[in-house]
Structure 1
Amino acid sequence: MYRACSRNVAYAFNQKKMKKKSKGSRAWSRVLATQALYQLSLNKDADISIVKKNLLNDKETKNVPDRNFFFKLVNETIKNKKDLDKKLEKAVKKKNFSKLETIIKVILELGLCEIIYFNNLSHKISIAEYNKVGGSFLNHKEVGLINSILDRISKDFQNE
């Protein structure tokens, strides 16, 4: 269950383990993408460009995102949301998908987007990264749910 303000939780995300890189961190980009899409899902009238700008220009964190990866991930997920949701509804069963918490849906959409549209990334790495993101926002059982759904879809996608 989404228990805390996304801002506080995200800053706690591997703050000590993540090193500042000149190119930026893809892991941190995934956290910011999760925050951006979560904000958009709560406020349909929000301007995505302002949400992205505010998240990327936050001076309270030492983590540096990979800006190009962040923009591509957010834009691809938004552009393909209907297709991603159809695939997720099929994997989870439509009525169960509609009952999932918004933060879980957002993490699943982002993970599935990477699996389908980011051909240069390993599916296993993407799934592991979204398990970490989920661990920042959710309990262990919910992270297990994310892992099992993304793993199942990844295997189906590879078999196509």
Structure 2
Amino acid sequence: MAHRPDHKPRSGGAPSRRTAARLAAVQALYQLELSDGSADAVVREFGQHRLGHEIDGADYGEADRDLFGDLVRNVTADRAELDRVLGTALSAEWSVDRLETVLRAILRAGAYELSSRRDVPPRVILNEYVDIADAFFSGKETGLVNGVLDRLARTLRPDEFEGPKRDPSATAG
């Protein structure tokens, strides 16, 4: 699975090492959901064969390997709790299980960072995962990622996430 080859980061340049780690983590989480592999095995596979390489026209770029491993291992380990948290930010008509697999991986990774990575500002997390959604989707999914992660940021880290509250209900389900 590769991101859209025509997609360029908003900055216009090559993705940062942390951005590359997040993008690769979403791809690894997708792979894990479709296979019986372990998080450690997938982290090793990506480290040996994907990170820093170009595959099928997709440049995996040099990634922050520590962040990549943290995301893959902890999102996998905490999946049930992350799904519960995500469920609070989705509309009543939607459950995490109804979401497309890549979209679930994006939201789980974003929810993990918002809940556990206090070293990263919430607006950075939102921007990163909205960009990642944009790399995979061309429809309403990007708005859904923005709406759901915005709700979670305001709930999980209200002291760090100031500004007017938007109503993302039209995009969160």
Question: TM over 0.5: same fold?
Answer: yes
Counterparts of 1:47 and 1:77, CA distance in 2: 12
How many residue pairs get matched? 149
Is it true that 1:53 corresponds to 2:44 in the alignment?
yes
Structure with bigger helix share is 1
RMSD: 2.3
Counterparts of 1:144 and 1:62, CA distance in 2: 25
Structure with greater contact order relative to length (CA < 8 Å, sep ≥ 6): 1
Instruction: Tell me the TM-score normalized by structure 1.
Output: 0.82
Counterparts of 1:84 and 1:39, CA distance in 2: 18
How many Å apart are 1:17 and its aligned residue? Answer: 1.4
Report if the CA contact (8 A) 1:32-1:70 is conserved.
yes
Query: Which of 67, 70, 73 is the equivalent residue of 1:72?
Result: 70
Report if the CA contact (8 A) 1:56-1:65 is conserved.
no
The verdict on how the C-alpha distance between 1:12 and 1:69 changes in structure 2, with shifts beyond 3 A counting, is farther
How many Å apart are 1:42 and its aligned residue? Answer: 1.1
How many Å apart are 1:11 and its aligned residue? Answer: 6.4
Structure 1: gaps spanning 5 or more residues: 1-5
Report if the CA contact (8 A) 1:123-1:154 is conserved.
yes
1:4-153 paired onto structure 2 within 5 Å: 6-7=1-2, 9=3, 14=8, 17-18=13-14, 25-43=17-35, 45-57=36-48, 58=50, 59-60=53-54, 61=59, 63-93=61-91, 96-97=94-95, 98-153=97-152
The verdict on how the C-alpha distance between 1:74 and 1:144 changes in structure 2, with shifts beyond 3 A counting, is same
**Identity over aligned pairs, percent:** 27
How many Å apart are 1:12 and its aligned residue? Answer: 6.0
The DSSP-based 3-state class of the residue aligned with 1:96 is coil
